[in-house]
Amino acid sequence: MTDLHIHHTRLTPQMRSVLERMARAGHPPLHTLSPQRARVAYDAGAGVLEVPKATLARVEDLHIPARDGHALPARLYAPSTGAGLPLLLYLHGGGFTIGSIATHDILCRELARLAGCMVVSLDYRLAPEHRFPTASNDAWDALRWLAANAESLGADPERLAVGGDSAGGTLAAVNAILARDAGLPLVLQLLIYPGCAAHQDTPSHATFARGLVLEEPAISWFFGNYVNSREEREDWRFAPLLAPDVEGVAPAWVGLAECDPLVDEGVDYADKLRLAGVPVDLEIYRGVTHEFIKMGRAIPEARKAHADAARALRLAFHLE
C-alpha cells in the first residue's frame, strides 16, 4: 500500500489524479534539495496547474524599503488604472524558504480581477539566508509603507487588507496583530491554510504526515531553515496561536484544505479569533490538500476558493 492510498477515500477524484501524476513524475522531494535548488524546482512547477493568466490594466514592479534599508521587490496588480482602489498586501507561501512573486503571480492576478482591488505581492527575504524574524519584519515594514504611500500608488488608505497562503498566511496573521497594536486599521485578514502553531503536534499533522503535497519531512525542513530554537518556535510571530491577545484584530476569512497537516491549527486559530470577538468566516474545502489554491486548472475547489476569497474582500472593501 502506498502512502497515497491511505488517503484514497478522503480525496476528490481530481485531487487523487493530481497526486498520482505528481508521483509518476518522480521529481525529488523539495526537502531533499538545497534551498537554492528547491526554489528553482518550485518555480518551474508553480504554474503548471494554475488557471489561465489574467490580463490586467495595470501590473507594475516596485521596491519597498525594509527597516535595514534593503529594497524589497514587490509587484502591484490592479484591474483598472483609476485611483482610490482598495489594496491587499499579499504574502506568498513556501515555508519561509521557497516561493516568490513569480510563483504566486497568477493567484494574485486572479484575486485582483475577481475582487476588483489592487494587490501588492511582496518578495520578503527567505530562509536560511534570512532567518526568523526577517520575513515577519519585512511583511510588517511593507504593510506600514503601503499604508503611508497608498494614495501615491492609486490606492485608498482607508481600505487596506493583508493576506497570504501557508507561511504567507502566518505572516498575514502576525501583520494583523501588529497593525492592531500600531493603530493601523485593516478591513480584513485573508488567511489561506496558515501555519499557526509552534509545534507539529495536532492530530492532522499525524493523519496527513505522508502521501500528500505537504509531508512531515518537508515541514520540518522548512521550519528548520527559518527558526533556530524552541524559544523562536514559541514566539507568536512564528506561531500566532501563542499570541497573548488577539482582541480587536481585523476580521478574518480563513480558507483551509481538509487533507492538510495544517488544518487543525487553522481551525484552532479561527476559534481563538472568534473567542476574542473577532468576526471570522471559515471555509474548509473537502477532499483537497495543501497548495490546492494554486491548482485551479485541475481542482474545482481552487476556483471556488478564489471566488470565496474575492467575495470576502469585496464585502470588506464595501464593493458589494
β-pair type (252-259, 118-122) = unpaired
- Which residue of the set 105, 141, 260, 264 is catalytic? 260
Active-site residue (options: 100, 121, 136, 166): 166
Number of Cβ atoms within 10 Å of the Cβ of 36: 11
DSSP classification of residue 279: -
Distance, in Å, from the CA atom of 14 to the CA atom of 36, rounded to the nearest integer, reads: 31
- Annotated active-site residue in 7, 31, 290, 306: 290
Instruction: Locate 273 and state its grid cell.
Output: 479569533
Cα separation, 104 vs 120, whole angstroms: 11
Tell me the β-bridge partners of 64: 72
Q: Which of 216, 222, 208, 189 is nearest to 264 (CA)?
A: 208
Residue 315: CB partners within 8 Å, gap ≥ 6? none
Which residue type does 92 have? H
Q: Round to whole Å and give the CA distance between 239 and 175.
A: 12
Active site residue 260: yes
Q: Which residues are catalytic?
A: 166, 260, 290
